[in-house]
Amino acid sequence: MAADSRTIIAPTDAELLQAQADLWRHSLYYLTSMALKCAVELHIPTAIHNLGGAASLPDLVTALSLPQTKLPFLRRLMRLLITSGIFASESGAEVETYRLNPLSWLLVEGVEAEDHTYQKYFALATVSLHYLEAGLSLADWFKKDLPVPTPSPFEELHGVPLVHETTKLLDEELDRILNEGVADMTTWQLEPLFGSAGVRSLTDCGGGDGTTVRGIIKAFPDIKCTVLDLPRVIENAPAHDSVNYVAGDMFHSIPPAQTVLVKLLLHFFNDEDCVKILEQCRKAIPSKEEGGKVIIIEIAVDPSVGPIMYEAQLLMDMLMMMNIRGRQRDENDWREIFMKAGFSDYKIVKKIGARGVIEVYP
């Protein structure tokens, strides 16, 4: 066989030096995640907010009740977090001032009741010990010939699925953080979607404690809202005069409504289970002519959203791959699932950051 005639051109010294720096960055990015975790656990965003939105290093050390000997170490931590875009800073003539930016605003405690932006628990969950252990086992997981449906590295390593009633048996604190983290991600910027859509009745499928529908009712009190979730979730939901809580199983039956909302839920499941859930959704709504539809809020992986959003979508897909049996999907994946579930059409009506709002019609 003839040798490959292609010529391999070695990188230049300058390219290799840049590549080495890039390798350092990629290999050490976990330190940025650890620094973020530290900032959240020390309540640094909240401390800056309580100090009027700006704080010097000495002010921050005092507000956090840290030993004065930790001041130079806190400076190094903040320097990395500023460079990584997690905080902002201003350098004056005598002292550097730390400020909140939109990212660190998401981590301020005490403002979530008004604008639903609080994301602390998501940040903590993704760097929990059990998550990290699953990531460290990824190469071993690839080498194993596992049964289908294939358990995630998390499930294979720890023996229980993530985001499941058995997670509490593994670690009660992780289970609490996960539940809070899911709530963080499912309330923000969703209520305005229903104002001009002519929605008369709504079932929130897998709606947890009803936080989302309570926000919808507050804005649009004429919408009749039902929340469906597992009995162990519904029994802990706060009572509300305008919310009908139903304990059940979305694989078997969904309370009927003009619109069924399925928000940030389907990525937890494989394609076959998504089809089963959506088949029940289709049975719960009237015809398209009568206004029946399913509103799905999920990531629709698409490079056209821009490099930062696209990278976030791909990282979320890796998070799914390592920890659960579901995945993030692109538009072609969603189309195939909708058609298999018996729907006639769909439309991506809006994008909310890295996520999309998809209306699916019977």
Catalytic residues: 267
Question: Bridge partners of 359?
Answer: 295, 347
Q: Under a CB-based contact definition with an 8 Å cutoff, are residues 167 and 161 in contact?
A: yes
Q: CB-based burial of residue 153 (10 Å sphere; 0-12 exposed, 13-18 middle, 19+ buried)?
A: buried
Report DSSP state, residue 5. Answer: -
Q: For residue 300, give both structure tokens.
A: 């629709």
CA distance 231 to 224: 21
CA distance 37 to 25: 18
Q: For residue 178, give both structure tokens.
A: 């996960």
Q: What are phi and psi of 272, to 5 degrees?
A: -60, -45
Of 348, 259, 229, 231, nearest to 299 by C-alpha is 348
CA distance 238 to 235: 9
User: Which secondary structure element, helix H or strand E, spans residue 243, and what is its range?
Assistant: strand 243-247
Question: Bridge partners of 74?
Answer: none
Give the C-alpha distances (Å, rounded to integers) separating 4 from 1, 7, 8, 271: 9, 8, 10, 42
Length in residues, the chain: 362
- Cα-based torsion angle of the residue sequence 340, 344, 350, 354 in order, rounded to the nearest 10 degrees: 10
